Chains A and B, each alone.
Chain A
Amino acid sequence: DGGITQSPKYLFRKEGQNVTLSCEQNLNHDAMYWYRQDPGQGLRLIYYSQIVNDFQKGDIAEGYSVSREKKESFPLTVTSAQKNPTAFYLCASSFREIHQPQHFGDGTRLSIL
Chain B
Amino acid sequence: GQNIDQPTEMTATEGAIVQINCTYQTSGFNGLFWYQQHAGEAPTFLSYNVLDGLEEKGRFSSFLSRSKGYSYLLLKELQMKDSASYLCAVRGSGNTPLVFGKGTRLSVIA
Contacts and interface: CB of A to CB of B under 8 A. Distances in A.
A104 B44 contact: yes
B107 to A, nearest CB: 16
Contacts of A48: 97
The secondary structure that dominates the B interface is: loop
Contacts of B30: 98-99
Interface in B71-106: 87, 89, 91, 94-95, 97-103
Contacts, number: 54
A97 B50 CA distance: 13
Interface residues of B, number: 24
Interface stretch (A35-43, A62-70, A77-85): A35-43
A33 B98 CA distance: 10
Contacts of B102: 40-42
Contact of A42 (B45, B91, B97, B103): B103
B36 to A, nearest CB: 11
Interface in A66-113: 88, 90, 96-99, 101-107, 109
Contacts of A11: none
Interface range on chain A (Cβ under 8 Å from partner): 20 to 34
A97 B91 CA distance: 11
A50 interface: yes
Given A90-B42, A104-B43, A105-B42, A98 B97 contact: no
Contacts of A101: 33, 45, 48
